[in-house]
Structure 1
Amino acid sequence: MKSRTSITDLFDDAKYNNKYVKVCAPMVRYSKVQFRTLNEKARSSEFCTTVNDSPLIVQFAANNQDDFVDASKLVYPYADGIDLNCGCPQRWAMKDGYGCALLSKPEVIHDFVRGIRGSLPNNFSVSVKIRILKELKRTIDLCRQLEMCGVTFLTVHGRTPSQKSSEKIDTEALKEVIASVSVPVIANGGVKTLLDADRLHKEVNCDGVMAASAILANPTLFSGTSRTPHSCVKLWMDFKNEASEKITFQCYHHHLVFMLDKLLTKAQKNEFNSLSTFECVDEYVREHVLDSQDCVLDYEHRLGEFIECKFSDEITLKHSSKCRGCGKSTCYCICNVYDYDASDGAFFTSRVTNDSLDYMDSSLFDED
């Protein structure tokens, strides 16, 4: 078990210093340890961590208490807390009873929280991420009930489940929700710059601000930069070189696609999208992005030693089942993380193909 960060202390320290907690949102396929480390601070193939990877809260999508509690037990030795996703509005999640589908079943959410509080130590953080409901009173009632159940904090996305990420967030609703509870509340939605985060904090009086898609485009957003600096790109390359066996080409390439959005011309973006090897990507970045001085920068932070995560066979075997897409007992194929009915299976293959999808458009990534 690695050393822990007290999530409660993070909020207390920020409040004492008239500041707020800055949070990188959990993002499917993107929240890998290398990217988490870049922001300063399915099991086995999907979850890994290092001795420096803290504070770390692991978010799960679940539709029953048993799965949620057991999954939480698996990561307990390696994380500072867990979070229940009740904010994802995507079709595949709603269809299977995950994400926003749980907002209509508050009693189920309560059972999830109580299950953690009855199974793991109280100093282990448990939180819930929700969206604003059309009836604000229902949102406030839900948050108050979750507070009574023992959540450490709440994250509230300022849009309803039916709203698109391009629509404005409801700051008045956020303000009322935050004022209705005593636990810390992180506000989410519409944050593209540090100035946006500062404004949101001041307007709604939240305890923390979470950013998602904008963090992909600029991992240094919370430091106040307007675009990804060359030093951050170089650090991402260093992380890959430090533990090349721990990162896939898809992950490495896709993050650079987002980070280089404002650093490359349209023609260069199209060319970069078609690259298919680590070597080609690195050569292209060194030639078209990095200056000579970027290659000799001295960085204070490194990934740190990877922790060998050992998971209980009793729990993992209990939940082993066949994939609904490919029929295999152990599977990490695209059908488990995406809407396989609407996918041609090529969204995240070993090569980013040049089709109708503009991979340089970071707005494609929804903020949940």
Structure 2
Amino acid sequence: MSKHEEITNRRYPIPPPPRRKVDPLLMLKDNTKITTIAGPMVRYSKLPFRQLVRQYHCDIVYTPMILAREFVRNGHARISDFSTCQLDTPLIVQVGVNNVSDLLKFVEMVAPFVDAVGINCGCPIKEQIREGIGCALIYNEELLIEMVKEVKLKWKDQIRLETKIRIHDDWDRSLKLCVGLCEVGVDWITIHGRTRTTRSSQPVNLDAIKYIIEGIRKAGFEDIPIVANGDCFTMKDFKKIAEYTKCQGVMAVRGLLNNPALFSGYDICPWSCIENFWYWVIEFGGIPYQLIQHHFYCMLENMNLKKKLLNEMMEIKSLVQLMDWFDDNFELKRYNNIGFGQSIEIPYRIKD
């Protein structure tokens, strides 16, 4: 059976089966493999995209960051910020939060619908930092540790709790923070190997991640999985990160936005991703047209689509017109068509 036949055979049935809880911690503790993870992407890791990456060997998937303050107080925010379905598992909902009270309320609200909660301690956006959210938390170690402690005291193993941090310039400070989180019961830690001020164009610091992981193990926390994040764009990167840092999982973010089939071993996004994403967009809806358009742009750019066509696509103003544009330029198969979701190369339509 070819790789594409395997992926096609794993397409989800309609109607979907009942949602089942999956414990992501058990996946991370499976020592027979390194767990593949799709990290949180502001706006972009919505339900249709999450379902797409799951089709291509992604074990665990995150939501975009949701602000706890708005979520627990505003019903409209809950409707717009969070959607899921029976197939959306294992699912980690990431939260931006700066106090214990909002975090406890948030966890209580989302617990029935997710498999874990992740605290965002890595967002470097200045507005978030001013509010004590994201990267601000790695400089407010006592508060972060207290938040983890209170959630685990109340929920124990009924809900899994993760923290995603960036590194300090002083690696020992990061190590001390991670050990403190382990002591109060965090289920796993994700380490993004950049500081608050490191640009994404600069290489991720795998030495720092390796140093922190080794320090956590020496402190006696061998059973708490550590996930490495940063610069995973191909499976070659994935293997390099895993082997060098000795982590239990590797998280990709930008790499998956450009190539959702990264974890299936494709160095370049296959055309099947385009057809499958169209299916999930129509099936679920719920995301603005501009985001759908940009998802297609990222994938098609990765596939080296002709620049003229890329520019042409970005001038289109509606979903219906976008579908017509795809049909005019490509052989775009639908779900019930023979060969749907199997093509690798761009199937240009030959015009008369």
Percent identity between matched residues is 31
Question: What is the Cα deviation at residue 293 of structure 1?
Answer: 9.6
Q: Given the alignment of the two structures, is residue 146 of structure 1 paired with residue 187 of structure 2, yes or no?
A: no
Question: What is the Cα deviation at residue 299 of structure 1?
Answer: 6.2
Look up the match of 1:65: 100
Look up the match of 2:79: 44
- Judging changes above 3 Å, is the alpha-carbon distance between structure 1 residues 288 and 33 closer, same or farther for their aligned structure 2 residues? same
- Judging changes above 3 Å, is the alpha-carbon distance between structure 1 residues 219 and 79 closer, same or farther for their aligned structure 2 residues? same
- Structure 2 CA distance, aligned partners of 1:77 and 1:83? 15
- Judging changes above 3 Å, is the alpha-carbon distance between structure 1 residues 292 and 137 closer, same or farther for their aligned structure 2 residues? closer
Q: Residue 39 of structure 2 contacts residue 251 of structure 2 at CA under 8 Å; is this kept in 1?
A: yes
Question: What is the Cα deviation at residue 159 of structure 1?
Answer: 1.0
Q: Given the alignment of the two structures, is residue 296 of structure 1 paired with residue 333 of structure 2, yes or no?
A: no
**1:271-314 deviations in whole A, cap 9, x for unaligned?**
111111111111222333446699533569xxxxxxxxxxxxxx
- Structure 2 CA distance, aligned partners of 1:292 and 1:188? 35
- Judging changes above 3 Å, is the alpha-carbon distance between structure 1 residues 206 and 290 closer, same or farther for their aligned structure 2 residues? farther
**1:15-52 deviations in whole A, cap 9, x for unaligned?**
1x1x2011001111111111111012642112011111
Look up the match of 1:365: none
Q: 1:21 aligns with which of 35, 38, 52?
A: 35
Q: Given the alignment of the two structures, is residue 127 of structure 1 paired with residue 169 of structure 2, yes or no?
A: no
Look up the match of 1:238: 279
- Judging changes above 3 Å, is the alpha-carbon distance between structure 1 residues 132 and 254 closer, same or farther for their aligned structure 2 residues? same
Q: 1:260 aligns with which of 300, 303, 309?
A: 300
- Structure 2 CA distance, aligned partners of 1:289 and 1:68? 47
- Structure 2 CA distance, aligned partners of 1:252 and 1:116? 35
Look up the match of 2:191: 156
Relative contact order higher in (CA < 8 Å, ≥ 6 apart): 1
State the TM-score, normalized to the length of structure 2.
0.80
Question: What is the Cα deviation at residue 91 of structure 1?
Answer: 1.5
Look up the match of 2:68: none
- Judging changes above 3 Å, is the alpha-carbon distance between structure 1 residues 62 and 53 closer, same or farther for their aligned structure 2 residues? same
Look up the match of 1:338: none
Question: What is the Cα deviation at residue 120 of structure 1?
Answer: 2.1
- Judging changes above 3 Å, is the alpha-carbon distance between structure 1 residues 151 and 293 closer, same or farther for their aligned structure 2 residues? closer
Match for 2:232: what amino acid? Answer: V
Question: What is the Cα deviation at residue 147 of structure 1?
Answer: 0.4
Q: Residue 62 of structure 1 contacts residue 68 of structure 1 at CA under 8 Å; is this kept in 2?
A: yes
Q: Residue 19 of structure 2 contacts residue 87 of structure 2 at CA under 8 Å; is this kept in 1?
A: no
Look up the match of 1:325: none
Question: What is the Cα deviation at residue 248 of structure 1?
Answer: 3.0
Which 5+ residue runs of structure 1 have no aligned equivalent?
A: 301-368
